[in-house]
Each structure stands twice: as structure tokens, then as C-alpha cells.
Structure 1
Amino acid sequence: MIRNQFKYINRFREIAILFSKTGLGFIIEESGLDKLLSLPSRLFNKSQKQEEDKTIAERIRLFLEEAGPAYVKLGQIASTRGDILPEAFIKELEKLQSNVPPFSSETARDLIEQELDIKIEDTFLIFEDEPLGSASIGQVHRAVLKTGEVIAIKVQRPNIERNIRIDLEILKTIAQVAEKNFKWAKQYQVTDIVDELSTAIIQEMDYTLEARNINRIERQFKNSEDVKFPHVYEMLSNKTILTMEYFEGISIRKVDELSKKGFDRYQLADTFARTIFTQIFEHGFFHADIHPGNIIVLNDGTLGFIDFGMVGKLTDNVKQNFGSLLIGLMQKNSKKVVRSIIQMGVVPDDVNIDDLYEEAELMQDKYYDIPLKDLEFGDAVRDLFTITNKYHIHLPKDFTLLAKTLITLEGNIEILYKDYSILSVAEPFGKKLLLKRLNPKRVAEDKFEDWILLTDIVEDSVTNIHQFTKGLSTRRLPISLELKEEKSIGRHLDRTINRISFSIVLMSLSILMAGIIVGSSLLGQGSILYKFPVIELGTILAVAMFSWLIFTIFKSGRM
């Protein structure tokens, strides 16, 4: 049955042999795939003995490196998922290097001309055949337009999308078979992991998405003088070709060169950190691949960002809870940290919340005597992921991407300026976000939306109950049931709904007023009703609606 799914049998055999070669042959052998693929048993026995001194995590890294660019990229993306993979696996995957040789300049030229329907000599004054860099999905060439503008052209490898899709299909089949045969595979839901990672890698191969990412962040920072994002040349870009402004400068990893040029490394670190936190807390859209090669100090001291194939997008819920979690970490408040995780993630029903709090308390004790400036965010996040993995708490993937980004940021900042504390800079961003949530206008808007929703629910419930009670008197039911007091039941149900409505609206009004008072005090303001007429009107409207509800309920006599 499985054999019929093997559309690419030769490539499947290659992958299976690589599993064997890197010490993972037991997955193929014990799941019976070796027989279906007509592979000899001695192949698996020999390789297992050769690699038995290596951990499973090491074997997986070796397999990914041997299997080719698609698998390397898959592993690099997987290294950002500390929420679903154990720490030992993450550390190994972080070692993955593409080491992919560039394809020929002739091929690059042909692809550019075919995809963009242009002639190289008609479009560029200069086209450099030696690529600036080569990666698993594509490579970048420097060129100069006829207008004199210096550009960077990212060219996707020929047939890379087709090859990656084939490999992903094979990998998913192996994951499905593994889940049927291995308890650990089922526990970690490896098929779901492969699906998630496959979606990420397919999206990264679409350069039109990367162009949109650049344009979006460029718009968000259009008034900034400290950072710069490359301009995209839309007419010279498509799904497999991306043409953008070329940045001339120094990578942040070259600290000695930066010092020789007279750049203020503390200022660079501060600009870098504040830019990322602005993307996270204010825009909810951030560059998620900020390794040193993608951050360049331009000649005028501006910080340039490149390579936007991987970005993170945060919902308001994740932003709010991350802000709360960050403040909990800084205040060493384990309860706040756990509450943030619970509100953000999916906690299995069988998890004992008290045990979760106890684990967080133990983590807090580990960092209790460490000053905030010396607290390493990366260590705290890794400990958090250890806890969430232990209790199988599923966190939003963009939160884990965010955590990985901040760990990378911390490492980069340490290279630039060792004594710079990113948590100290993050604190005001987190507090500002929480204050925004308690802003009276925001609270009023949220409560008004809740009121509309509640009104709809109550109206629907009353309609349904009336229809139900009417049906009891006019229709025959499958069971013999006589209700002599159906009107009494209807009145009782109406009374119950009215009481629920009264309680919920009273609670909503209380929350609204509390938000106004708390938000006003947090912002250091006096009576906001005189300063913000919008809030005053909203409050009056809420009280009026509340009074109307009370009047109608008491008038009906069903309270």
C-alpha cells in the first residue's frame, strides 16, 4: 500500500540509505521501509555500529547535512522551534551550515533573463559573475543598473522548488510511518512538525513574500535616521528573482574593524536592540533571521538590515502576554510567567497547574540572586522551553520564533558591546504595551464590543428558548413527555437569562470603570473625564445602556 505512494522511488532509496549511513537506519528498518524499498539488511547493521557512539541529535544533524540544501534549510528552521524539540536537538541543529557551492554565473544570467524577460547587457552596466554569497535556496550577485544604482540580485537555484517538494513529500511519508511504529514519534507528533516546517520552507522560497516583508518594515521605519532597509526594485523581481538596493558596509561581527573606523559600538548595540523591540512590541512584525551576516553598519553609521526571508508576525494576544512574561522574568515573578504561558499556549487537560507553578518557582530560584543586567535572556528562555516541553504545552510558533530571535539578538549584542543588557532596554517596551492594554479608551472600546457580542448572544438565546418551549406544546417528541407547566418553565428560563445578563453587564461596567481608574493612575493623570470627552461619552453610553437593561428586566417582573 505504501509502495503506491512512492512517486520518486529512486530519491526515496537515496534518503533511506542516508538514514542508514548516518546511524538512523533503525527508523527505516524497524518500520519495514527497508523491505518495501528492497534494501539489504546488512546496510543497516553496519552503519548502526559505526555511528552508535553519537547521540540521536548528532545523527540527525549529520543526516541533514548529507541530504542536501532542502534538508539543511529544514534543519535551520527547526532550530527556531525550541517549543517542540528538546534542547539537545536545538543545539545540534544550530550547528548546521549550508556549505553549498554556488551554481555557475552562466546559469544565473540565464535564469535572470528568462524569469524577467530582459537582456543582461541591456539592463546592467555591470554584472558581477562571482556571487556575494551562496545559500541553500539561492545566491546573490552584485550589479549596477544603467541608471548607476548599485543593486543586489538574489537568484533562486534552478529546480530547487521541485526538488524540495519531492524531499518534503518523502520526509512526510517517513514521519507518518515512524508515528505508527515508534512511541517517541507519536509523542512528538513528528508529522505535524514536518508539516509546519514544510510550510515555512515553501514560503521562504517565494521571493515575492520576502519583497513584501521588506516593503512593510521599510514603511514602518520610514522616518528613522538610525536604521535602513533595502529598497526593492519591483520591476526586476518575481517569485524566483529578488532585486534590491545593495548595502556597502561592515558586518557587526567585525568589531575590530568597526572600532578602527571610529564607530560607537554602544550606540550601535542600542540602535540594534531598540529597532528589534520596536518591531516586536509596536508593530508586531519582526525580522526573524538577525544573524551577524544580515546586519551591516553602513558607511554613515546607519544600521542596515538584509535578508527578510524569515519574519515573525505577532497577534495582540501574543504581544500582550509576551510583555507580561518579560516583566515577570525581570521581576523574577514565577506566577506571572506561568500565567502568561498558560494564556498564550495550549495546555493539555491532564497538566497539574500546581506542578507547573512549582517548576517555575525552581527556575526563579536559579536566577534569584542575579542582577537584571547580568541575567541572560537566552538561558531563561531555554529553561522555559524545558518546562513547556516537559508538560507538552503547545506555544504559538511565532512566539517561539520571537524567543529564538531575542536569543540571537542577545548573542549579537554581546559581540558588539558586552556590558549592554537587552532586558533593561526591553522593560519599558513591555510596560508601555501593558499600559496600552489598560488605556481607558482601549478598555471602553473592548467593553463596548463585549456588550454588542453579549447582546447578540442573549437575543439568540431568548429566541432559541422561545422556539423550544413553543415546540414542546405543538410538536410530538420521540419520547412521551407531558409538560403542564410549560409557561412556568418559559418564565423561569427568561428570569434566569435576565439574571445572567444583569450579572455580566454589571461585571463589564465594573471592569470598564476599573480600567479607567487604573489606566489613569498608571499614566499619572488626573480625572480623565475632563481630558478625554470620548471616554466620558463612552461611560455615559455604557451607564445608559445598563440602566435600560435594568429597567426592561424589572418591568417584565422576571428578575
Structure 2
Amino acid sequence: MIAYARDRRRFLLFGGRRQVDPETHRYRANVLLESLLDLGPTFIKLGQLLSTRPDVLPPAYIDVLSSLQDDVPPAEWDGAKEVLEDELGPVDDRFVSFDTDPISGASLGQVYRARIDDDGTREVAVKIRRPGVEELVRADLRVIHWSLPILLYFVDDARAFSLENLADEFSKTIREEMDYEREAEMLQEIKSNLAVDDRCVVPDVIESHSSPRVLTMEYIGGTKINDVEELDRRGIDRGEIAENLQRVYMQMIIDDGVFHADPHPGNLAVTDDGRIVFYDFGMSGRVDEYLQEKIVDFYAAVANQDIESILDVLIEIGTLSPDADRAVMTDVIELAIQDARGEDIEQYRVHQVIGRVEDSIYEFPLRLPKNLALVLRVATVVEGVCVTLDQDYDFIATATDYLIEQGYREESIRRYIRESGEQILQSADSLTRIAPKTERALDRLERDDLSVRVGVEDSQNVFENLAKRLIYGMLLTMSLFSMGVLYALEAPEASLVAAAFSVVVGIQLYRSFRRVRAIRARPQFTRQSLRQRRGDE
């Protein structure tokens, strides 16, 4: 945090920003990664959540922390066995066979393969909460909440907004993930919603072998969704899988209002017949009707490439600050749409846009409200999976087709026409009241009884900087005059003190006229950069 603060103010309390290269960010991110792994399950889960929050951390941190999605050290079987037997009884009595090597390790629990039924034909996946994790999580959450005020001191308002939401979201999410009964309910609800969908498959819950700390599900095997070589070997159409994945998630979020919220490759697989398998419903969420409506409006605006409507929706749902520079954000969104469509982006234009935003990189106007964080996480990770399956995948085209097929695009247009009509009526009503108000204002002006109050917004601190320069100038003039007088009075020691003071004030005055250097940024995570990295490899 001290290093982060020094990036913003070279000498912590004063001075301009300093230049930080991507290699330094990556080094710090790796140090953070090792610290999170040492601190245990709660902080591993926090790192996983941070890896999906570009509004909190720079891209280098996101890239490094994303390895936490799959690379979590396994716990010892003895501890897991103790939890299992406390909940269900002796392993040999409840299971025909049980493989003690975990097939999947998560920050809060581990998954094992086993067989049940008398003939041992039914294969299941048994998710067991890590031993002692409840007390550890409670203690770690206290540490995080105690540390939050200190962290907020080092960051700007936009990141403070995101960090406070992140802390609240994290506390809620991690408690929900430890509640396997809730996970079973969410799994069953999502399975019911997708029951007639032949594009995907959701495992059954084995209630007889489940409890608050153990969740037993039907085992469904498959090829990991990002294992493109194996998918090709099995003759599975990766482009079709990508499209099906996006469509299923759009249905869950827009239509059903309940969704699987952790779609990283470790939780997605593909069966031999091309169906998508969903694992691990510990992180799942709900979307209210208002947010569903705004998501539809957002997709419709993207489909129409209506940048102004996109900005309006982002402001309405609280993702974009109303004070954001719309001209800059227009360029940013245009580039994002091009990249989402898989189009080639002219690099000079990317650098041009970055040059316009880098002066305010720490005050970037994007933020994530609580009710949208999981949805954005899903959209970001799903697009990453789709691009892994098909580098030329057009995310927007699929969304547009889905909106048209479901009638959402026409509904959005009708709602826009209805709202526009209401605004016209309100405008007409306002016009009828303008004339008398204008006449009263003119009467007051004629009687010299009209006062005007003016509020000045100074987001760039122009007046503050001007005041500093005036003060520094007066101090410098005074110190130089004092130095000359003291020297004339043959007081060399005192004149040297005045000279030193003059030098310090002169340096501060000079620095106040210098343009603050921005942290240099370079474009990352575009499809072109992905292709270039793969080409280098």
C-alpha cells in the first residue's frame, strides 16, 4: 500500500506521480499472489474475486491473480474424512467406494469421486468443506473489515466506492459458498429452469448424502471447456459451444433471474455429445427485474451501436459516474465494441484513447455497484472462455440474435418510444408554465430585486493551484528580501538560512507549474494482443 501511495504521490504527502512500468506491477502482483496463498482459504477466495475486478486493480494484477482460479493447494484427506464422517457417518457405511484423491480443489472445499447404491453403479461427486474453515473465515473477515479504513485512505473516491462494495460482496459471497444447503437449492432451481434445454446439463443433488458441510451430486464427466486440442480431437464444434454458452447465460440472467456465477474453465466441461456441464454452484446469484430490464437496454444499445444510449444505461445502473467525460468514454466504448466483435483495432487509435484517459487513470469513472458485480464477473469470464474456444467469436452478434429471437429488442424499442412520448408530454406541460415564470423574473429584474447565485466546480483544482502559487511567490519574495537585508547587516548565518528557505520555496513554486506526469499505460487484453502472445509462444 505504501508503494501504491507513492505511485500517486512520489513522496507520499507531496510531489507528483511517478512512472510505474508493467514489470513492476507484475512483480508486485506475484508478491501479492504468494501472500494470498500463504494466508489461506479466505484470502485465496479474496484473490479470486479481485482477479475479476478491473475497477480495483491494474491489468497486470488481474492477469497474475487469475491463476488462483484453478491452482489451489489441496488439503489433507484425514481432515476432510473427519468432516465427512461427522456429517454422514462412516465412509465405508455410506459409500460403496471412495477415491481419497481430490478431483478438484477449491479455496473452501474439495471434491472427491465416489460410488453409492448397493451395486455401486451410481458415480457421484462429493464436495466436502475444508476442516476448520468456518473459524478461520470469521477471523479473516474481521481482519479485512478492520483493514478497510486504512486501504480507503490510500485510494481515490472511485476505487473507494468499489472497495467498500467489494468488501460487502465478499463477506456475503463467502458465507453463501460455505452454506452447502443454499448451494443445493440454487443448483436445483437452475436445473429446473434448464431442464428442457439440450445444450447443457446440470447434475442432480443426492439429498440422502448431503448436509450443511457435505454436498453430494451426480457425477458427470466431460472435457474441460478450455482444452481446445481435446475438443478438436473429439470432433466438437468449438464455435457452437461458445455460442451455446453465451446463450445459456443470457437466458439465466435475463429470463430466469438466477444464474451460475463462477464460469471459469475449472467449472465448465463439455460432454462427448457437445453439451455443456456446469459444476460448483457455490457462487450463484439473482437478478431483480429492474436490473434485467437495464441489461436488455444495454444489449439493445450495443446491438444498435448507440453509444449515447450505452452511456445512459451505465449511468442509470450506477456503473458510470454522471460526471464522466462522455467524449472520452465514447471512444473507449467504441473500441470495446470493436474488440467484442473480434474486429482488428488500429493500434494508433488505442494509444490515442489511452493518452486521453491516462491523465485521470486513478480517477477513472467506472465503478461496480453491489447488485451488478456478479453479473459483470460472469459476462467478463464467459467472454474470455468464448474467445478461448473461438478467437473470432462475435459476442455482440450472438447477443443481438438472442434479443431478436426473444422479442427483447422490439420491446426495448417500444419502451423507448413510450418513454419518449412521456418526455414530450412533460416538455409540453413545462412550456405552458415558462411564460408566467419568465414574466415574474423580468418584473423582479425591473425592480432591481433579482439575485443570482453561482456555484463554481473546480475538479482540476485550478483555484487551489493558483492560491499555492501566489503563496509560494510571496514567500519566495519575502525570503529573498530577508536574505539581502541579513547579508547587508553582516549576519551570514541568518542569511544562509534565508537562502536555504528560498531554495525550498523556489523548488515548490517550480513544481507547481509542472504538468503532472501520468502513469503510462499500454493496451492489454484485446484480441489482437491475445493473437500476438499466442504467435510469440
Q: For the superposition of Structure 1 and Structure 2, which TM-score range results when normalised by the shorter chain?
A: 0.5 to 0.7
What is residue 485 of structure 1 aligned with on the other side? Answer: none
The question of whether the paired residues in 1 share the 8 Å contact of 2:340 and 2:394 is answered with: no
What is residue 65 of structure 1 aligned with on the other side? Answer: 37
The question of whether the paired residues in 2 share the 8 Å contact of 1:81 and 1:401 is answered with: no
The question of whether the paired residues in 2 share the 8 Å contact of 1:80 and 1:400 is answered with: no
**CA deviation after TM superposition for structure 1 residue 123, in Å:** 1.9
What is residue 221 of structure 1 aligned with on the other side? Answer: 194
Deviations 1:326-352 (A, max 9, x none): 23233332211111012111776xx53
Answering whether residue 49 of structure 2 is matched by residue 77 of structure 1, we say: yes
**CA deviation after TM superposition for structure 1 residue 306, in Å:** 0.8
| Distance in 2 separating the partners of 1:67 and 1:416 | 34
Larger RCO, structures 1/2 (Cα 8 Å, 6+ apart): 2
**CA deviation after TM superposition for structure 1 residue 247, in Å:** 1.0
Deviations 1:211-249 (A, max 9, x none): 111101100011122211000012211221110000122
Unaligned runs of 5+ in 2: 7-22, 423-537
| Distance in 2 separating the partners of 1:429 and 1:388 | 35
Answering whether residue 92 of structure 2 is matched by residue 104 of structure 1, we say: no
Partner secondary structure for residue 285 of structure 2: strand
Q: 1:271 aligns with which of 229, 244, 247?
A: 244
The question of whether the paired residues in 2 share the 8 Å contact of 1:230 and 1:245 is answered with: yes
Residue type of the alignment partner of 1:78: L
| Distance in 2 separating the partners of 1:361 and 1:340 | 13
What is residue 332 of structure 2 aligned with on the other side? Answer: 363
Deviations 1:53-105 (A, max 9, x none): 87665554443233222101112123333345555543443243564432333
The question of whether the paired residues in 2 share the 8 Å contact of 1:72 and 1:98 is answered with: no
Q: 1:131 aligns with which of 102, 106, 111?
A: 102
What is residue 400 of structure 2 aligned with on the other side? Answer: 427
Answering whether residue 266 of structure 2 is matched by residue 293 of structure 1, we say: yes
Once the two structures are superposed, the pairs formed by residues 78-477 of structure 1 within 5 Å of their partners are: 78-87=50-59, 89-96=61-68, 99-116=71-88, 118-147=89-118, 148-179=121-152, 182=154, 184=156, 188=160, 190=163, 193-345=166-318, 351-352=322-323, 355-364=324-333, 366=335, 372=341, 374=343, 390=363, 392=365, 394-431=367-404, 432-436=407-411
**CA deviation after TM superposition for structure 1 residue 304, in Å:** 1.2
CA RMSD, Structure 1 to Structure 2 (Å) = 3.7
The question of whether the paired residues in 2 share the 8 Å contact of 1:151 and 1:243 is answered with: yes
Partner secondary structure for residue 305 of structure 2: coil
| Distance in 2 separating the partners of 1:346 and 1:268 | 30
Residue type of the alignment partner of 1:334: I
> What count of residue pairs does the alignment treat as equivalent?
389
| Distance in 1 separating the partners of 2:337 and 2:158 | 37
Unaligned runs of 5+ in 1: 1-18, 27-50, 448-559
**CA deviation after TM superposition for structure 1 residue 388, in Å:** 11
The question of whether the paired residues in 2 share the 8 Å contact of 1:332 and 1:364 is answered with: no
- Identity between Structure 1 and Structure 2 (%): 28
**CA deviation after TM superposition for structure 1 residue 25, in Å:** 12
The question of whether the paired residues in 2 share the 8 Å contact of 1:98 and 1:135 is answered with: yes
Inter-CA distance 368–284: structure 2 relative to 1 (3 Å threshold): closer
| Distance in 1 separating the partners of 2:232 and 2:175 | 40
| Distance in 2 separating the partners of 1:220 and 1:388 | 42
What is residue 542 of structure 1 aligned with on the other side? Answer: none
What is residue 499 of structure 2 aligned with on the other side? Answer: none
Deviations 1:478-532 (A, max 9, x none): xxxxxxxxxxxxxxxxxxxxxxxxxxxxxxxxxxxxxxxxxxxxxxxxxxxxxxx
| Distance in 2 separating the partners of 1:207 and 1:302 | 25
Partner secondary structure for residue 323 of structure 1: helix
**CA deviation after TM superposition for structure 1 residue 308, in Å:** 1.1
**CA deviation after TM superposition for structure 1 residue 155, in Å:** 0.6
The question of whether the paired residues in 2 share the 8 Å contact of 1:74 and 1:198 is answered with: no
Inter-CA distance 259–193: structure 2 relative to 1 (3 Å threshold): closer
| Distance in 2 separating the partners of 1:143 and 1:420 | 38
Residue type of the alignment partner of 1:93: L
The question of whether the paired residues in 2 share the 8 Å contact of 1:320 and 1:434 is answered with: no
Inter-CA distance 336–155: structure 2 relative to 1 (3 Å threshold): same
The question of whether the paired residues in 2 share the 8 Å contact of 1:82 and 1:400 is answered with: no
Inter-CA distance 317–429: structure 2 relative to 1 (3 Å threshold): farther
